[in-house]
Amino acid sequence: MINLILTLMIAFAAGVTLGLSSLLALRHSLQTLSRHSYPVLWIVANTGLRLVLVTVILFAIMQFGEWRHLLASVVGFALARWLITRRLSQLNNLIFNRERSETAEKS
């Protein structure tokens, strides 16, 4: 029983790591977009590579574990992406509201 819980925690942590690394790769590809001569090709290739890597890693987790491990990984992946997206939108709202108040003070 403890072995199952430990492996589920490892699968969950792998999913969180996978979600964070996928978002970091997306962020990096968007930041370097202007430096490439073919930006559409860069985005398509990067998206395909991230999709293939996530699929292969989730498939490997499924092969070495049970459906519970895959579920724990997918939950960790989704939770990491949801938390980061939520945090970034809060920061964006703070920045937007600050810029709007500074603009209102100037006029």
Whole-number Å distance between alpha carbons of 89 and 79:
15
Query: Based on the number of CB atoms within 10 Å of its own CB, is 19 exposed (0-12), middle (13-18) or buried (19 or more)?
Result: buried
Indicate the pTM of the whole model. 0.79
List, for residues 52-93, the tens digit of each pLDDT value. 999 999 999 999 888 999 999 999 999 999 999 888 888 777
First to last CA, the chain: 66
96 pLDDT band, cuts 50/70/90, is confident
